Amino acid sequence: MVPSKFSIMSVGNEILAGDIDNTNATYLAKKLTMSGHDVLRIVVVPDDVDDIASELRRLRKISEFVIVTGGLGVTHDDVTAEGVAKALGKKLVLNKDAVKTMEGRVSSRKAIEKMATLPEGARVIKNDVGAAPGFIIENVLVMPGVPEEMKDIFSKVEKEFGCLPYYEERVRVESFEDKIADILKELSEKYKEISIGSYPKKGYVKVKFNGHDKNLVSKAKEEFLRALEKIGIPYRELT
């Protein structure tokens, strides 16, 4: 079965403190959405074993697959592997495949063993950009938090998730959100199978129609355009 309902969990005190932007979650959400999957939740948790474990248990109940980023390094606060193991009721063991991916690249044996200690049964994904490998266990993918390392690892497993039909239409409306709110509400109630998003900008609103059915997406957009024309609001279709 191709998983279609995902959740994304980012681990890191630095995100919660506002020291860095959560670009990993944005990247993954866009990738998954464009592949026709639904992202149900994006959450951020601190570098704490119990918090990681409890949140992962919750997300697994509502999702077919959970993607976790951050906390796989060598410092004291890199505890994601331990949190994942606790959530799944697995032992932490030294993973020989993980060790092999770092031998000859990481000089410290202590560092290698720290990053290679993973939940029992984990499938290792080599990190060709950095040190700590990613891993998959049951319905959880875990990757480092460094964006380029995360992208490298995700590129190696992305095809395993499959690709579902996805269609998107966008319109730039030269007006304010309150002028089109009623139209959007009526359309969202009529076309429940697709998603209709409204994103106000300075001086205009971007409206996005997306879903798995190309005909419904186009039909909803065309009905929206006719409603705009009827009340004299200018617009421009976006490519």
- % pLDDT > 70, the chain: 100
Q: What is the pLDDT of residues 20-68, one digit of tens each?
A: 999 999 999 999 999 999 999 999 999 999 999 999 999 999 999 999 9
CATH number at residue 77: 3.40.980.10
Determine the average pLDDT of the residues in 68-90: 97
The angle, 0 to 180 degrees and rounded to 10, between the axes of the packed helices 177-190 and 214-230 is 140
Across the beta sheet with 167-173, the strand order is 195-201, 204-211, 167-173, 235-238
Is residue 105 located within the same domain as residue 195?
Answer: no
Range of the domain at 71: 5-161
For residue 104, give every residue at least 6 positions away whose Cβ sits within 8 Å of its Cβ, in sequence order, or none. none
Residue 222 main-chain phi, psi, to 5 deg:
-65, -40
Rounded mean pLDDT, 89-105: 97
Single residue among 161, 176, 192 that ends a domain in this structure: 161
CA distance 106 to 229: 63
Distance (Å, rounded) from C-alpha 75 to C-alpha 77? 6
- Mean pLDDT, range 199-228, rounded to an integer: 97
- Same domain as 106, residue 12: yes
Same domain (yes/no): 122, 56: yes
β-strand pairing of 204-211 with 167-173: antiparallel
Q: Are residues 139 and 192 in the same domain?
A: no
The whole-number pLDDT of residue 22 equals: 98
| pLDDT of the residue at 1 | 60
CATH assignment of the domain containing 226 = 3.30.70.600
Q: What is the pLDDT of residue 162?
A: 93
Give the Cα separation of 94 and 22 in Å (integer). 30
Tokens found for residue 100: 């092999």
pLDDT reported for residue 239: 87
On the question of pLDDT at 3 being above 90, the answer is: no
Query: For the chain, percent helix, then strand, then coil, each to nearest 5?
Result: 40, 25, 30
Q: Round the average pLDDT of the chain to a whole number and report it.
A: 97
Same domain, 146 and 172: no
142 & 77 share domain: yes
Residue 2 confidence class, pLDDT cut points 50, 70, 90: confident
Same domain? For 154 and 183 the reply is: no
Q: Are residues 44 and 108 in the same domain?
A: yes
* Mean pLDDT across 184-205: 96
Task: State how many domains the chain has.
Answer: 2
pLDDT tens for 110-163 read: 999 999 999 999 999 999 999 999 999 999 999 999 999 999 999 999 999 999
The band of 210, judged by pLDDT with boundaries at 50, 70 and 90, is very high
Average pLDDT over residues 201-214: 96
pTM above 0.85, yes or no: yes
